[in-house]
Amino acid sequence: MPTIEQINCHSKAQDAARKVFERLPELITANDSEQSIATKAYDMLRDLGCPETWYYRCPALVLLGTRSCISVSGKAYQPSEELVGLSNLITIDLSPIHEHYWGDCARSFPVENGKVSRSPELLEFKNGLHFLTQLHKKMLRLVRPETSLGQLFDWTNVCIRESGFVNLDYRNNVGHSIASCKEDRQFIEAKNPVRLGDVKFFSFEPFVRLKGGTWGFKHEDIFFFNQAGTLETL
């Protein structure tokens, strides 16, 4: 179980990411690109006191348009100049550091009529966002400290398949432990016997597309078990 100090320190980085997601959608226009959106996001993180990232040199990984369903490591990521246009889906993954404590947060934003829509009309947008919201809620109720990362992986992929979606992650995982070094991460992947209760924090970030669909959706938060053994969102 993490200490109160660890929870508070990681929360500062995670809160910065969430504040960016509260403000950034209002600043996105049809003339933006992955490059300009990543720059805006990083400028906000810097203004919030988080100028550094733990994820290679990629504080904001932005995917949209023809790259909506592409899964790529931050090590290889180069933002595109493709424009948002009138209809699109923008996925933004932020990885700020506060002091040496990680944040890790991702959201997908539908664009309709050249603006980010809080209540999209397109059915594929509605279904993708709703599925991930409900999947996170179910995960919070389901997992226990004794649940292994491999078991969470298996359960998540069954939910993805049975709901008519496919897992897009290039490593085929759905999250990882929050560490102090990238190489020390434990991934939520097949056959990983490590128990969730044995890592202080973990991210849950399924990246999915509806079978036959156009758009790739991601929703990521960080979780931890409190002193009562109940899972909480950081």
The CATH number of whichever domain residue 123 belongs to comes to 3.90.230.10
Residue 92, pLDDT score: 98
Residue 180, pLDDT score: 85
- The residues, any chain, with a CB within 8 Å of residue 57's CB and separated by 6 or more, are 74
Strand arrangement, sheet containing 60-64 = 60-64, 88-94, 105-112, 115-116
> For the segment 28-69, what is each residue's pLDDT rounded down to a tens digit?
999 999 999 999 999 999 999 999 999 999 999 999 999 999
pTM of the model: 0.95
User: Domains in the chain: how many in total?
Assistant: 1
Name the residue range of residue 195's domain. Answer: 4-233
